[in-house]
Amino acid sequence: MTQLHFELLDVFTTSRFSGNGLAVVKGAGDLTDQQMQAIAREFNQSETVFILPTQNPAHSARIRIFTPASELPFAGHPTVGTAVMVAINQLGNVSGEEDAIVVLEENVGPVRIGVSFRPDKQPFAEFDIPQMPVEMEHTPTNDELSLVLGLPTSEIGFENHRPSCFEAGMPFVLIPVRNLDVIGRAIVDEKAMLKLLGTQHQEVYLYCRETVKRSCSFHARMFAPTLGISEDPATGAAAAALAGAVMKFDQPSTGTKNYIIEQGVEMGRPSEIHLELVVKDGLKNVRIGGHVVKVASGLLEI
């Protein structure tokens, strides 16, 4: 019997038992695809990360990311959480102010993450997204989305924001809704969603300008039932895609623009995702960041 070390983390939060939970399994190089998928189902987190030997010795770790139902090429909260854990392993016990650079090999390509440790604060990690947001060709109509969400068409959209589809490593249907009341009432009909979106877009991301916390810029919810995630408390990849919608509809001026996206509130897992856009003759760079809290560690028997 083989024993593998694992850690449980809460990501995009400064408090335990909030944010998005993440399981990280170390030394997973000998596991088969089937074993990784079975372990991810057992942990039943939004995502489980498996750390494998690097293909490039200059990189920090190679990782594979699984939801309870399938493997992902890229995801935000596994990138942030794993980077903090790898940085701690590199630096040892961190007692003061430290910074580290971690490069994770993901299926989408290498991702470079900056990790910051500050006294009396939870560690913070931030990365440049590996793929800039690209708008997809087909966007469902308000009538079609109304059937998926159980909302009237009049409550879909705010200001000049309209539904759009963007991909930045993973594709999302981005659906602006009028306010917090509307986003709280949304219920995804999985059968209607699968019929409408098929296998091209299986992730639905709702957002509105009204927020619970005044420090936040957007309030969001993400649904991906076909990935085994009925609702996700924090979705970094969706925030990366949202950068495309922000550029399209808000048309921010030249400079560095910072946003905080609150998510997971309706689930009792409040999260905060930091989104940074660098704008100069268009969108030049996008960064995703957040805090990480260690919750538990243990041994997994295979």
Query: Is 203 marked active-site?
Result: no
Pair 240, 75: CB distance under 8 Å: no
Which tokens go with 201? 């877009």
Measured distance CA(37)–CA(48) in Å, rounded: 9
Distance between CA atoms of residues 133 and 169, nearest Å: 8
Choose, from 7, 47, 203, 262, the residue flagged as catalytic: 47
- 3-class DSSP state of 47: strand
Which 3 state secondary structure label does DSSP give 82? helix
In terms of C-beta density within 10 A (0-12 exposed, 13-18 middle, 19 or more buried), how is residue 33 classed? exposed
The residues assigned a catalytic role are 47
